[in-house]
Amino acid sequence: MTAIVTPFKNGEVDEEKFRELIEFQIAGGIKAIIPCGTTGESATLTHDEHNRVIEIAIDQVKGRILVIAGTGSNNTVEALKLTKKAKDEGADAALIITPYYNKPTQEGLYQHFKKIAESVDIPIILYNVPGRTGVCIDPATVARLAKITNIIGIKEASGSMKQATDIIGLCGEDFIVLSGEDSLVYPLLCVGGRGVISVTSNVAPRDMSALCDEFFADNHETARKLYYKLLPLCHAMFYETNPGPVKTALAMMGKLESGEMRLPLVPMAEVNRSKLKEVMEKHGLI
């Protein structure tokens, strides 16, 4: 699954390029796209833009793959409204980040997700990325939330295999644990992970999709080789703050006119851009 970028042109959402990127993902074998996640720069989209990006994704996909809408906020009422809107538009599921900045307790996290899940009848995937939010969902809290019928899984982006394996151990096989760290996708699959919500698949959808497909077809040696092929690219996507490198990479590939982002994000430093270009060339993407 791809945490898809939001293209901008002269400060506005570039709908034409967004639709083209969606087609590139579908052609690459990706099973789902996630609009308005971290990679989609949800933090700097207005509410109208946020809703429109999800509308475009659903319209362009037309049921061919899943659309999992990013609908999180550090404001429970706001997250609830975004989630309800996504459901009304026809999203297949919602990816909801932990509240950021206000740093709720574990009970606060539980009540936040419980309120949304009980208010909107849509499958919900929790999103744990403490490096960005300043708060981590404890595995025990995830296990409590997993008992709520429509909370079906978690995007685990703490970077900790202990965190991920504790969640898998506590929640059982029916709860979907997805890698939120591209560099850990193969190890996580090996301990019971069910897939990945990827940044790297924005530029290499076919390879990331093939890695997962080969793994679940029990072709583990092929999957392992694909993982190590992708690993330098996975690291390169985080030379600077995401989505700077991935947007720069897409521009190098001709998939975007530029890597335009919104302040406070700025273009990559030249030294990192050069390193990224070298990795892209070695992977055969440019």
Q: Is the dihedral of CA 107, 112, 117, 123 positive or negative?
A: negative
Which 3 state secondary structure label does DSSP give 239? coil
d(CA 145, CA 15): 36
Residues β-bridged to residue 33: 2, 67
With CA atoms as reference, report the closest residue to 54 among 96, 8, 98, 91. 91
Six token digits for residue 226? 């694909």
Catalytic residue among 127, 186, 227, 239: 127
Catalytic residue among 87, 155, 247, 255: 155
Phi and psi at residue 232, to the nearest 5°: -60, -35
62 an active-site residue? no
Distance of CA 276 to the CA centre of its chain: 21
155 an active-site residue? yes
| Amino acid identity, position 228 | Y
Q: Which residues are annotated as catalytic?
A: 127, 155
